[in-house]
Structure 1
Amino acid sequence: MAALAPPVAAIRVAVRRALTGLPGSGPVLVACSGGADSLALAAATAFVAPRLGRAAGLVTVDHGLQAGSAERAAAVVAWGREAGLDPVESVRVEVAGRPGGPESAARDARYQALAEVAGRHRAAALLTGHTRDDQAETVLLALARGAGPRGLAGMPARRRLDGVPLLRPLLDVSREQTRTACAVLGLSPWEDPHNADPSYARARVRADVLPGLVRALGPGVLDNLARTARLVAADNEALDDLAAGALDAVREPGGALSVPGLAGLAPAVRGRVLHAWARELGAPPAALSYRHVAALEALVTGWRGQGAAHLPGGIRVFRRADRLTAVGPR
């Protein structure tokens, strides 16, 4: 018996780890664009899931942004059925008219469609093919934006998408491994032209910045960036737990917050408390930024009698005596 190629084995092991112990009896669905990363993930899931007693399916999203996108989606669906995946679906989404830039709008449309399909099939989980290289790019982009610890934590290996677990099994697998796995398995991945379009920041990081870092610092830089994301994510989780308890401790009757209580918190915890409180008040998480939390912080530690801090969603926060109070939607 021929030995299993190491990249194929690594991807199957990663998928097995992600699926082992997964609760629920529904299928797992792989989000597959037809690119090397998601194609290798789908092939591994088609092999591993049935051996764990789990049905596995596939969903591909047609953004309609390129000529031939419908044909590409149809080809992915046909391959998925040949690979024994079931259910297999293609979903067309409209990107135009959504808020944000083209990347953000396409991502929002894609995840909305994936969540809808996963919910309809009562999926136990949705799997995406993000790799270690994607994680390294995410960390660099977050660093460039000054995103802070939440951004530097990169993409979580697990999170919930409208109530469905979203798993990223390949965050410790390289992009090159997925390409090699596809070649070994005789799969022909699709190359998304957007990945090489220099008008996108991520494409510039992929084409220029990361290769430059590898040349200057060695190939281990990709692993180090991904490791940084894991370490920061663990720290964030601990700080968020502390902040949850601190938020309860500084609450005043009527939903206000105690200024002396806030002032006594460590800055890292206080910032998280104010961020969480702003979300509770109804501030949209995607619109809530560092400057909004800094304005709340100034009401606590830089008080000079200034007016309200304005949060997204039409919310105003005032300091009245030793309390922070909010006016606006909840």
Structure 2
Amino acid sequence: MVRRPRLNPVAAAARNRVEDALTDVLLPAGAASGAAPEEAAPLVLVACSGGPDSLALAAAAVYFTKGGRCRVGAVVVDHGLQEDSAAVARRAAAQLAGLGLSPVEVRTVEVAATGMGPEAAARTARYAALDAAARESGAAAVLLGHTLDDQAEQVLLGLARGSGTRSLAGMPARRGPYRRPFLDLRRADTEEICSFYGLDPWHDPSNTDPAFARSRVRTQVLPYLEEQLGPGVAPALYRSARILGQDADYLEQLSSEAYAGLRAEAGGDILLPEEGLRTLPASLRQRVLALAAIEVGGTQPSFERLLAAETLLERRGSAGPVQLGGRVGVYRQVRGKSVLPGGPSYGNLVFRNNRPGTEPPSRSTQE
């Protein structure tokens, strides 16, 4: 009798994480028996770079093709940022096909030279390619290989930027079709999984390039903190992200409810009553102001811009407008000037997108 090799405990844990992430996607074991898997089982895509995290994720996910619980394919995004990127993508695709994933697709993207920085530009191009692949294939979910270490790095970067609760919550385990099953696994775990399956992962040289802030956090900052504070810094940052994520979800729910109860609309502008805003605690008030700015076509305002908008509620000095970004400004409606049809609307903050051809409000300084 031939003994089957015992499943590596870390590989078993990885399978469990994938199953938990796909509870709403996977069919019951054996549900597709008697029917072609292509016809009966939902498709799950793995976003794969060829690195240890995404290769390990692919190896864990493909297990669920047994019994027709799902089909598992992969998308390899070639950013074209290195001379050998095409060869790296082909090699990753070959390993994925060898694991049994199908379909396996390589998508080459062009990373725009914009003012957002190379990492952000590459991320934008990558998600555009993944969105298109999921849409065209009808995939039920897209799996991403981010680990606990990635989450810890994200939290530290957010702290360095002075970010708010949502940013410090790091990457969500689930957003739309995207799932991150490995957020509580260590990077070393994914390397062990690759070794167990005989995979040869690619190690991106940019991960150790000190030109990138994330690379410096990975190779210098986190090791230094571990040395000075003792082991366990990365898991502690991961726990903080989970706690802050719960807090952010609750605050966003409360602020959405408050915003829905306060907002009025007039000719494309959004009006929020000053009295209602003053009754809100600062954490909710700033979120409500941001929601109004975003609804009229702006971007998420900075903390400093939101504080400037709050000064309008003090009714001292200028009535605005305060610029919130994305051509959106907010001003205090002065006495005797109407925004809402049919009568005065004094007592509101007015959010307006100053698109070309739109006359901005006058700068009234006193009422």
> If the length of structure 1 is used for normalisation, what is the TM-score?
0.93
Q: Does 1:48 align with 2:64?
A: yes
Counterpart of 2:249 in structure 1 is 237
Question: Which of residues 251, 269, 291 is equivalent to 1:276?
Answer: 291
Q: Does 1:14 align with 2:30?
A: no
3-state SS of paired residue (1:245):
helix
Q: Which amino acid aligns with 1:141?
A: L
Give the whole-Å Cα distance in 2 for the aligned partners of 1:122 and 1:307.
48
Counterpart of 2:232 in structure 1 is 220
Counterpart of 1:328 in structure 2 is 353
Higher RCO, Cα 8 Å, sep 6+: 1
Write the deviation string for residues 96-148 of structure 1: whole angstroms up to 9, x where unpaired.
33441011101100011111111100110111100000000000000010011
Q: Does 1:291 align with 2:304?
A: yes
Counterpart of 1:310 in structure 2 is 323
**Mean Cα deviation higher: 309-318 or 289-298:** 289-298
Q: Radius of gyration: which is bigger?
A: 2
Q: Which amino acid aligns with 2:116?
A: G
Higher fraction of helix: 1
Give the whole-Å Cα distance in 1 for the aligned partners of 2:189 and 2:259.
44
Alignment of 1:260-271 (within 5 A): 260-271=275-286
Write the deviation string for residues 231-259 of structure 1: whole angstroms up to 9, x where unpaired.
10101111111101111222245231001
Is the 8 Å Cα contact of residues 153 and 218 (structure 2) preserved in structure 1? yes
Give the whole-Å Cα distance in 1 for the aligned partners of 2:135 and 2:316.
47
Counterpart of 1:259 in structure 2 is 274
3-state SS of paired residue (1:194):
helix
3-state SS of paired residue (1:107):
helix
Q: Which amino acid aligns with 1:168?
A: R
Q: Does 1:88 align with 2:100?
A: no
3-state SS of paired residue (1:3):
coil
Is the 8 Å Cα contact of residues 26 and 70 (structure 2) preserved in structure 1? no
Q: Pick closer, same or farther for the CA change 1:316–1:49 going to 2, 3 Å.
A: same
Q: Which runs of 5+ in 1 are unaligned?
A: none
Give the Å deviation of 1:320. Answer: 1.2
Is the 8 Å Cα contact of residues 314 and 328 (structure 1) preserved in structure 2? yes
Identity between Structure 1 and Structure 2 (%): 46
Give the whole-Å Cα distance in 1 for the aligned partners of 2:95 and 2:82.
20
**Mean Cα deviation higher: 95-104 or 110-119:** 95-104
Give the Å deviation of 1:270. Answer: 0.8
Give the Å deviation of 1:297. Answer: 2.1
Q: Which amino acid aligns with 2:205?
A: P
Write the deviation string for residues 2-27 of structure 1: whole angstroms up to 9, x where unpaired.
43212211211111111122289531
Question: What RMSD in Å do the two structures reach over aligned CA positions?
Answer: 1.8
Alignment of 1:1-330 (within 5 A): 1-22=4-25, 26-51=42-67, 53-160=69-176, 165-252=177-264, 254=266, 255-285=270-300, 288-301=301-314, 303-321=316-334, 322-328=347-353
Q: Which amino acid aligns with 1:241?
A: Q
3-state SS of paired residue (1:256):
strand
Is the 8 Å Cα contact of residues 329 and 354 (structure 2) preserved in structure 1? no
Give the Å deviation of 1:93. Answer: 0.6
List structure 1 segments (4+ residues) > 4 angstroms apart after TM superposition. Answer: none
Give the Å deviation of 1:302. Answer: 7.1
Give the whole-Å Cα distance in 1 for the aligned partners of 2:221 and 2:189.
20
3-state SS of paired residue (2:74):
strand
Q: Which runs of 5+ in 2 are unaligned?
A: 28-40, 335-346, 356-367
Give the whole-Å Cα distance in 1 for the aligned partners of 2:173 and 2:102.
24
Q: Pick closer, same or farther for the CA change 1:118–1:301 going to 2, 3 Å.
A: farther
Q: How many residues align?
A: 324
**Mean Cα deviation higher: 41-50 or 196-205:** 41-50
Is the 8 Å Cα contact of residues 20 and 52 (structure 1) preserved in structure 2? no
Is the 8 Å Cα contact of residues 282 and 329 (structure 1) preserved in structure 2? no
Give the whole-Å Cα distance in 2 for the aligned partners of 1:13 and 1:4.
13
Q: Which amino acid aligns with 1:96?
A: A
Give the whole-Å Cα distance in 2 for the aligned partners of 1:315 and 1:304.
21
Is the 8 Å Cα contact of residues 26 and 121 (structure 1) preserved in structure 2? no
**Mean Cα deviation higher: 15-24 or 122-131:** 15-24
Give the Å deviation of 1:203. Answer: 0.2
